[in-house]
Every structure is written in structure tokens, then in C-alpha cells.
Amino acid sequence: MAGCLTNLLQRPPPGRSAMIELKSVTKTYPGGHSALKEVDLEVAEGTTLALLGPSGGGKTTSLRLINRLIEPTSGRVLVGGQPVDRTDPVELRRGIGYVVQGAGLFPHRTARENAETVPSLLGWPEPRRRERTRELFDLMGLDFDSIGDRYPNQLSGGQQQRVGLARALAADPPVVLLDEPYGAVDPITRRQLQRHFIGLKATLGKTMVLVTHDIDEALRLADRIAILVDGRVAQVGTPDEIRDSPNSGLIAALLGEEGNA
């Protein structure tokens, strides 16, 4: 019964097609550690899935399988209905923005140059790049004139995160993957960035996977939450479903911590 319920909840909402699918995916790293064990996940187009769980659960591994930085040991990964192993990796990654843990800006490039990474690779002419970067900085709540020429070490943690997101969105990819985007900033900045994210989500309508180990963040930002524990999906559901009927003691304990925070 619990199995049936889990399967039901893993389906995307009716009327929306799956943009990202993991089908019975196992990933065993060299050395024999299975980071993911027969994981099934779907992310409906235009929705945000949070991948939530303790460190080492397989969250980053899942993201890296979606943009094909690594290959599954078995099972299939599809983006936009296409198996990723039959899509040219460069083409695939052009359609997938990636925000890595701790912003990951190139330290010797200015904020503007960081944001223009993909447009530069695509050979956009300078005026088009400049216009797009201004537009993105506006969207991110960053002042282009004062921030554009600064290097990452001259930016606050929150500003670095916003530039990282601008970089991921530069070529307007339909899919965005975010790996603990707000893990390295102070709680007040995190709240501001989360509020900003909620607004962006509604404006942009991207399909997103947001990795976090913060249950409160998952409950606030995601349309659906998949809890990954030790390489397996422990539960999938909407924030309300997870909050109201956690299916394990671990999840209940995580929720308890959130309640006390």
C-alpha cells in the first residue's frame, strides 16, 4: 500500500508533461559505493522539485546525472522526453542552467564576465551580451553599473549567489539545476534570496531541481519534494503532503527540528 501511494505521488500533476525523468537509476562510483539505488523521479514542466536529504544521500549525484556530467550505471535519464545519452552533451548543457554549491564563480572574471560565460561561448556579439546581462542583473536585483565590473571577492555572499543564478539563466535555458544555492550565506540573506527565488519562479516558469538539506527551504520553495536518504527516494509529495504525513521517523524528526528552529 505504501508502495502504491509513493508511486502515485511520484507522478507529475495531470496536464503537465514530465520535463525531467529518472527511470530506475542506479549510480555506483568506482570503488563500489552505490550513491543512487533504482531511483525513479519525475519533474513536470514548469515546476520546481526540491531534492532534500542528509549529506551523502545522492542529491548532487542526481543533478550531475541530469546534465550528464556523469553517466548512470543502470537506468535511464530523460530531459524533454529525450534520453540524455543520445543528446550531444554540449547541446544538452546549453538547455540546462547549473548553479553549483557556493556560487562557484570564476574568481578571475568580473561579475559581468561570469554572467556572460555562456553567451560568450555561443559567440553572441558584445551589444547583445551586454543587453542580456543588464536585463538579468535587473531581474536579480543587482545594480549593473556598480557591480558589473567587480570580482567575486568584492561581492557579498548574497550578491555572488545572484550572479551565479544570472550566469545559469543567461541563455534562457528551460531547465535549471541548483545545488544548495543558499547553503553558504547567513540566515537573513538566505531569507532574502529565498523570497527573491519565489518571485522568480513565478515569473520565469522554468523547470527546476533545487538541492537542499534544509527542510524549511524545501517546504517554502518547491512545488514537490523528493526526500533522498542513502541513495533511495524515501518519500515524494507536495510540501503539504510531506508536512502533514511524513512517512518515516527521519522525516518527522527533520520536521520537528524545523518547527523548533
> Where along the sequence are the contacts to ligand ADP (CB under 6 A)?
29, 31, 33, 35, 55-61
Tell me 57's DSSP state. Answer: S
**Nearest residue relative to Mg ion (C-beta):** 60
Report the residue number, 80 or 164, with the smaller CB distance to ligand ADP: 164
Judged by CB under 5 A, does residue 235 bind Mg ion?
no
* Alpha helices, H only, 86-205: 89-94, 111-115, 117-121, 126-139, 144-147, 157-169, 187-204
Q: Which CB atom, from 31 or from 125, has the smaller least distance to ligand ADP?
A: 31
Query: Least distance to ligand ADP from the beta carbon of 61, Å?
Result: 3
Contact 35, 29 (CB under 8 A): yes
Amino acid at 44: A
Of the pair 52, 165, the CB lying nearest ligand ADP is at 52
- Minimum distance from residue 216 beta carbon to Mg ion (Å): 18
Asked if 61 is part of the footprint of Mg ion (rule: CB under 5 A), the reply reads no
Binding-site size, Mg ion (CB under 5 A): 2
108, three cell numbers: 578571475
Q: Which of 27, 42, 44, 60 binds Mg ion (CB under 5 A)?
A: 60
Residues whose CB falls within 8 Å of the CB of residue 133, separated by 6 or more in sequence, listed in order: 112, 115, 116, 119, 144, 148, 166, 170
Do residues 61 and 36 lie in contact, with contact meaning Cβ atoms separated by under 8 Å?
yes
Cα–Cα distance measured from residue 13 to residue 201, given in angstroms and rounded to the nearest whole number: 17
CA distances from 256 to 61, 116, 234, 249, 260 (A): 27, 42, 17, 10, 6
Q: Which is nearer to ligand ADP, 61 or 161 (CB)?
A: 61
- CA dist 185 to 32, 83, 172, 182, 218, Å? 34, 36, 26, 6, 16
Residue nearer to ligand ADP on the CB measure, 69 or 121: 69
Pick the closer one to Mg ion by CB: 98 or 144. Answer: 98
Query: Which stretch, 8-16, 27-35, 55-63, 165-173, contacts Mg ion (CB under 5 A)?
Result: 55-63
Contact between 212 and Mg ion by CB under 5 A: the answer reads no
Element (H, E) at 9: helix 2-10
Q: Are 163 and 114 in contact (CB under 8 A)?
A: yes
Residue 35 partner contact from ligand ADP, Mg ion, none using kind-dependent CB cut-offs of 5 to 8 Å:
ligand ADP
Q: Please identify, using beta-carbon distances, which residue of 101 and 238 lies nearer to Mg ion.
A: 101
Residue 48 interaction partner, one of Mg ion, ligand ADP, none, beta carbon < 5-8 Å per kind: none
Q: Rounded distance, CA 83 to CA 65, Å?
A: 11
User: Out of Mg ion, ligand ADP, none, which partner does residue 31 contact, by CB within 5 to 8 A per kind?
Assistant: ligand ADP
Q: Of the listed pieces 20-28, 59-67, 82-90, 127-135, which binds Mg ion according to CB under 5 A?
A: 59-67
Residue 60 CB, shortest distance to Mg ion, in Å, is 3
Q: Which residues bind Mg ion (CB under 5 A)?
A: 59-60
